[in-house]
């Protein structure tokens, strides 16, 4: 690892960022910024989620290590070791030891190998809004049609962050005498939203959303169908499994705009009133759950498996259910529940 990367890695570790950070990281320095729950922070959450990036924000005396789905600790982490780690991190990011002005917002984009791929500094009276605007601009860059399909997702994210922050620098830099105050909430970007119709559990749902919104976020955040769970958000755990046109899909990896008119079935569409679906009843009777967080995805995947009629032995069931992870380890009972539901459906 080059000396500069090693120095940055050590400095980030002092602020709670692990060495194996596996996502783009935005490091923001804003001395007079107040980090609090607000509509602006909701916008920042949405943009970080869309970009797959984390945020390390450093104000005058505190640091905030923040990802899209984290609960906000408004107190943050006080610089317990004094100002030295703060100064070291600024220097490692290629910035002066101290900001030139109290209303300066500095943004640094860091790859997962602790390589700095870009930095911008602007003068912003409202640092939180400026950060949201920069991230939103990056989001618009990410979905721009001119992006090459040969780029990896990580490369698109990094390029988008850089493009967005460059746009922020062009729009946000101004003379100190200018009386303009940044708006409390970034203006809505209607030009990048599309109207879609989704057929969910037999009902038509009309939505207006950005093209990069996943089916999972559309279900949970726009339609309040929270039975479908967000686990890893990377297609690795299966907690978000739903059926689209009868096929098992990871909702976190499926864009809502891609579904079209195909019928979508979620865990909410199985039971009829108080009468459980046979697969749900089998999971209950065979005790195929512990904490229950993965259970909706397990049940939807199991239902798809039975409909596919591809796996009959216990070994085949385990193989074809391997994309659904149960961290409690209830696999034996899950297999038993699937076999019970299969037998009952064949008998019926």
DSSP string across 38-74: SHHHHHHHHHHHHHT-EEEEE-SSEEEEE-TTSPP-T
In a domain, 219, yes or no: yes
**What angle (nearest 5°) sits at the alpha carbon of residue 248, between those of residues 244 and 249?**
75
Looking at 138, 172, 206, the residue that finishes a domain is 172
Are 41 and 51 found together in one domain?
yes
Are 206 and 343 found together in one domain?
no
Residue 335's pLDDT is 97
Residue 157's pLDDT is 66
Residues of the chain with pLDDT under 50: 145-149, 172-184, 189-191
Instruction: Give the bridge partners for 62, in sequence order.
Output: 78
Residue 197's pLDDT is 95
Are 229 and 110 found together in one domain?
no
Are 265 and 278 found together in one domain?
no
Sheet containing strand 54-58, edge to edge, reads 77-78, 62-66, 54-58, 25-30, 104-110, 116-123
Looking at 228, 253, 269, the residue that finishes a domain is 269
In a domain, 341, yes or no: yes
Are 140 and 47 found together in one domain?
yes
Instruction: Give the bridge partners for 77, in sequence order.
Output: 63
For residues 196 and 208, give the distance between their C-alpha atoms in angstroms, rounded to a whole number: 6
Take residue 300 and report the two structure tokens written for it: 């939807």
In a domain, 300, yes or no: yes
Are 246 and 287 found together in one domain?
no
In a domain, 187, yes or no: no
Residue 147's pLDDT is 47
Are 81 and 114 found together in one domain?
yes
Are 14 and 156 found together in one domain?
yes
Structurally, the chain folds into a number of domains equal to: 3
Are 249 and 290 found together in one domain?
no
Are 232 and 208 found together in one domain?
yes
**8 SS3 class:** helix
For residues 193 and 207, give the distance between their C-alpha atoms in angstroms, rounded to a whole number: 10
pLDDT digits (tens, 9 = 90+) for 37-54: 888 888 788 777 777 788
Residue 31's pLDDT is 81
Residues in CB range of 110: below 8 A, 6 or more apart: 8, 12, 24, 25, 26, 27, 93, 116, 117
Residue 243's pLDDT is 97
In a domain, 327, yes or no: yes
> Mean pLDDT score of the chain, rounded to an integer?
82
**34 SS3 class:** coil
Residue 171's pLDDT is 54
Looking at 269, 286, 302, the residue that finishes a domain is 269
Residues in CB range of 105: below 8 A, 6 or more apart: 28, 29, 30, 33, 121, 122, 123, 124, 127, 130, 131, 172
Are 117 and 139 found together in one domain?
yes
Residue 84's pLDDT is 86
CATH number of the domain at 322, please: 1.10.150.120
In a domain, 180, yes or no: no
Take residue 234 and report the two structure tokens written for it: 């990377």
In a domain, 179, yes or no: no
**196 SS3 class:** strand
Are 14 and 105 found together in one domain?
yes
CATH number of the domain at 223, please: 3.10.20.30
Prediction pTM value:
0.50
Instruction: Give the bridge partners for 205, in sequence order.
Output: 198
Residue 305's pLDDT is 94
Of the candidates 99, 95, 98, the residue with the CA atom closest to the CA atom of residue 108: 95
Residue 252's pLDDT is 94
Residue 178's pLDDT is 40
The DSSP output letter for 186 is P
Residue 206's pLDDT is 94
For residues 225 and 195, give the distance between their C-alpha atoms in angstroms, rounded to a whole number: 19
Residue 81's pLDDT is 66
- The residue range of the domain holding 51 is 3-172
In a domain, 183, yes or no: no
**209 SS3 class:** strand
């Amino acid at each position: 690892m080059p000396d500069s990367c090693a120095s940055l890695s050590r400095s980030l570790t002092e602020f709670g960022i692990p060495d194996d950070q596996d996502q783009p990281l935005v490091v923001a320095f804003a001395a007079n910024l107040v980090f609090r729950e607000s509509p602006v922070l909701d916008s920042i959450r949405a943009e970080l989620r869309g970009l797959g990036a984390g945020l390390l924000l450093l104000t005058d005396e505190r640091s905030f290590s923040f990802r899209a789905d984290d609960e906000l600790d408004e107190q943050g982490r006080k610089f317990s070791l004094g100002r030295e780690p703060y100064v070291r991190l600024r220097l490692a990011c290629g910035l002066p030891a101290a900001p030139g002005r109290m209303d300066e917002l500095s943004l640094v984009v860091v790859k997962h190998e602790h390589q700095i791929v870009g930095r911008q500094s602007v003068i912003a009276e409202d640092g939180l809004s400026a950060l949201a605007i920069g991230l939103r601009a990056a989001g618009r860059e990410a979905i721009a049609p001119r992006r090459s399909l040969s780029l990896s997702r990580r490369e698109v994210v990094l390029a988008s962050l850089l493009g967005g922050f460059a746009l922020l620098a062009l729009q946000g830099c101004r003379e100190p005498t200018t009386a303009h105050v940044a708006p409390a909430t970034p203006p809505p970007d209607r030009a990048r939203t599309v109207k879609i119709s989704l057929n969910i559990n037999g009902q038509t749902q009309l939505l207006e959303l950005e093209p990069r919104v996943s089916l999972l976020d559309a279900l949970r955040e726009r339609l309040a169908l929270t039975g479908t769970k967000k686990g890893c958000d990377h297609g690795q755990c299966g907690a978000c499994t739903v059926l689209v046109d009868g096929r098992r899909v990871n909702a976190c990896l499926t864009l809502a705009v891609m579904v079209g008119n195909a019928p979508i079935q979620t865990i909410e569409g199985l039971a009829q009133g108080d009468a459980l679906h046979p697969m749900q009843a089998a999971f209950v009777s065979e005790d195929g759950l512990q904490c229950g967080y993965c259970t909706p995805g397990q049940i939807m995947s199991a239902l798809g498996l039975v409909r596919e009629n591809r796996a009959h032995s216990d070994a085949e069931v385990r193989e074809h259910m391997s994309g659904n992870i149960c961290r409690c380890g209830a696999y034996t009972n899950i297999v038993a529940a699937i076999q019970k539901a299969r037998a009952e459906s064949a008998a019926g």
